[in-house]
Chains A and B, each alone.
Chain A
């Protein structure tokens, strides 16, 4: 069965998010800082009348963060929660046969494996498919540690 993914590069790797979870992709919007929140929560923005929190995906994945003017925000909808995530740049949509997705990443990747739903080869590059629910679930203990 073919599944579609929104694919974007972060650092040296390609990452993918299930297209059903992606609401929209916007150019960088003006953000309002949220004081006392952990660093990966970079602010809130006004998305057509709704206030949506935005996280720095690279920081969330513990990758070095460097947002520039090419950055975009990808708004994902998990459950009933809508969150914006900053990504570096160009975005593509790719279809992958679900058989080609390896469930558990045996390969070494740059990020914590709990965020990874699976990996697949796309034109000789490794695509890391993100488990959005995990990415957006914030462990209370971690948060408190971050805040102190």
Chain B
């Protein structure tokens, strides 16, 4: 697999993290198997993990690891196919795999390359499996096996007459069945020796059984050991071994390129539920801090302490929020390869540009954004970008461009997926929508474009493997809306299509403005607010049935919070407090009785009767323990229907 164009090194940390996870998964499931050998699910889990490992390491070009994973997969498959029970030896064997995976990972971290697996190491790993099972795995080092070396240590018994002569005979015999590479003492020295109790030989091209037959025939050998020996031809390596040093794993072909050990800051994985608990506790603390702040305003002695507490809780709050935030990179990083593969499968030339990967989002949101993005990107490659010929005939560059861009605006994060392809075929959508009776004949292009989010709506001529099955964009839309976000599509014929996803930054603590309305207190999220001010009742005019004020020469429609919230009485104040909020593309003024100031608002949700709270983003608890409701301006205003007023 070639992987040019893509800098794999940037994926190394992810690869390492994920491989750790997979190794962990294998280990824990092996332990499960140890308790219950019939646990099919555990075998499947291991199989899946090994498979993932194989795929990922092959992608990264780490053949050693992928072959190893391949072997593990084969062995497991053997077990599955034959319905064989896993015995404890086999589990031990699989743990040897785990050990080797870990060693490989270590090597990756330290040297940037996997270590070579010596054939004997591989034999060792396979040893616990029965020969039949082991045979089922084709050994990738069969070629190397030919040159397999053995280290033979032969100890002569004390009563052996002329052991040196005996040694020479052994040498000759060894040479006849295999290749004697080296002896210690050397064959020349042997002749001159007076006494000898040990002969060390390195032989190759020999089968251990032959050696055994040969040695066990002679009576004067006390005992012997035979073990596999790595006889690297590289003289340097051998020298190192002779000096009793370990050979350093070589970093593949480019051994001269120095690799700086990867600095992986130690991380721990934390159950997100624990993070949620922590956030809840911090929220309580924030509320308590506010209580204290209010209670101690009259006690200057306490001021310093409370001020310090205030700072600490703020910092704590920021850190806890940050702990839940992760950069979009973690999701984006997988896309270049996916886009590339998709493009190759479809025989297209596509360049993916990614920007703003460092934009951070709450973990819970990140987790659920990957699938919709994959979908949009695949669609872009499949339906958006044209074939090379088509592009050339339209006077476009051969290579299509897909841009994936993320940025933060206010407390929203926007992710845009755009391509410079053919754009949506509005006429085809129009035809299809008429067929489905979705719109009238005079529907506008933007209205038609958004029909692609309708369930079952697909205009793809040919259903490919990848997209165009008619399921999809509605699912994308649903999953984004489930995250409290929204998605829009913009398209121009022959220029391309842009999907714009807006997501909330976080779901837990916001900045809010406390406002009073009659005797009640409400929160308006600061993100909605563009400005606040004061208007006098006489400034209010009525156009049609809509009250307005002039704000810097522009018409600003106004609504009364009292009315929105079902409070009948009117305020008789001489000055009215105005909060100007964004409502879609427009601005709207909300008249409230009083502005009470801005503060951190910990959003708490009620878990019953959501339908009664649809005008509210949630609730919060103030420092005095009372509950306030957080206004969802969009819903509140959409229920009220503020009349359109011409700015003319």
Contacts and interface: CB of A to CB of B under 8 A. Distances in A.
Interface of A: 30-38, 41, 44-46, 49-53, 80-83, 136, 138, 140, 143
Interface in B591-632: 604-609, 611-616, 619-621, 625-629
Contacts of B606: 44, 51-53
Contact of B613 (A34, A45, A46): A34
Contacts of B627: 31-32, 44-46, 51
The 6 closest A-B pairs by CB, nearest first: A37-B612, A35-B565, A51-B619, A81-B608, A32-B627, A51-B604
A82 B607 CA distance: 7
A46 B625 contact: yes
A55 to B, nearest CB: 8
Contacts of B629: 32, 34-35, 44
B566 interface: yes
Nearest to B615: A36
Contacts of A35: 564-567, 615, 629
A103 B624 CA distance: 46
A45 B629 CA distance: 11
Given A36-B566, A36-B615, A51-B619, 7 more contacts: A32-B626, A32-B627, A35-B565, A36-B565, A37-B613, A53-B612, A136-B608
A110 to B, nearest CB: 24
A44 B611 CA distance: 14
Nearest to B520: A33
B611 A46 contact: no
A70 to B, nearest CB: 23
B247 to A, nearest CB: 60
Contacts, number: 70
B284 interface: yes
A17 B624 CA distance: 32
Nearest to A80: B607
B639 to A, nearest CB: 8
Main secondary structure of the interface of B (DSSP, over half): mixed
A5 B625 CA distance: 31
Nearest to B622: A46
B202 to A, nearest CB: 70
Given A30-B626, A33-B520, A35-B565, A51 B621 contact: yes
13 contacts: A34-B613, A34-B616, A38-B612, A41-B612, A46-B625, A49-B287, A51-B604, A53-B609, A83-B608, A83-B609, A136-B608, A138-B611, A140-B611
A80 B608 CA distance: 9
A143 B619 contact: no
Contacts of B621: 46, 49, 51
A8 to B, nearest CB: 20
A143 B614 CA distance: 12
Contacts of B613: 34, 37
A46 B621 CA distance: 7
A38 B614 CA distance: 12
A30 B519 CA distance: 13
Contacts of A52: 606
Interface string B406-450: 000000000000000000000000000000000000000000000
A10 to B, nearest CB: 21
A38 B567 CA distance: 15
A111 B499 CA distance: 53
